[in-house]
């Protein structure tokens, strides 16, 4: 069983920054991809960023140039550095892992999920 625990969420003014962390524990040998998703009430979960085992990355257009995904494999930690935050970034952010060798921003590609952390950006 793989467990994921996010941290680092909070409230910040527009233009500010936050860095989310996701600690992964359990049977981690087979996960190749990791990703960040976000969801607001009444909307579908949206892919934000993904990173593959060889560190290639993919970002949603809405966050390109502002967010950076990274991973520390030795520590089993996934990060999401978020800069120039906008009120539209307000959501619950989830990290996820996938056993696929390649994955993108579709939630169906991921099999393990964290419980989420709230990010609120005020105008």
pLDDT at 55 over 90: no
* pLDDT tens digits, one per residue of 85-114: 999 999 999 999 988 888 899 999 999 999
Q: Structure tokens of 120? A: 């609120």
Q: How far apart are CA 114 and CA 34, in angstroms?
A: 11
Cβ-contact 51, 34 below 8 angstroms = yes
| Cα 108 from chain centroid (whole Å) | 15
Q: Structure tokens of 5? A: 């625990």
* pLDDT tens digits, one per residue of 26-51: 766 655 789 999 999 999 999 999 99
CA count, 13 A, side-chain hemisphere, 63: 26
CA count, 13 A, side-chain hemisphere, 36: 33
- Among residues of the chain, what percentage have pLDDT more than 90? 76
pLDDT at 75 over 90: no
């Amino acid at each position: 069983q793989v467990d994921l625990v996010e941290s680092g969420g909070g409230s910040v003014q527009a233009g500010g920054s936050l860095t989310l962390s996701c600690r992964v524990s359990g049977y981690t040998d087979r996960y190749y991809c990791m990703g960040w998703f976000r969801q607001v009430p009444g909307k579908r979960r949206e892919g934000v960023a993904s990173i593959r085992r060889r560190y290639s990355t993919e970002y949603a257009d809405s966050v390109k140039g502002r967010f950076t995904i990274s991973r520390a494999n030795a520590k089993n930690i996934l990060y999401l550095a978020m800069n120039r935050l906008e009120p539209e970034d307000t959501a619950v952010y989830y990290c996820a892992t996938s056993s696929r060798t390649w994955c993108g921003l579709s939630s169906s590609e991921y099999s393990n999920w964290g419980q989420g952390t709230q990010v609120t950006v005020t105008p």
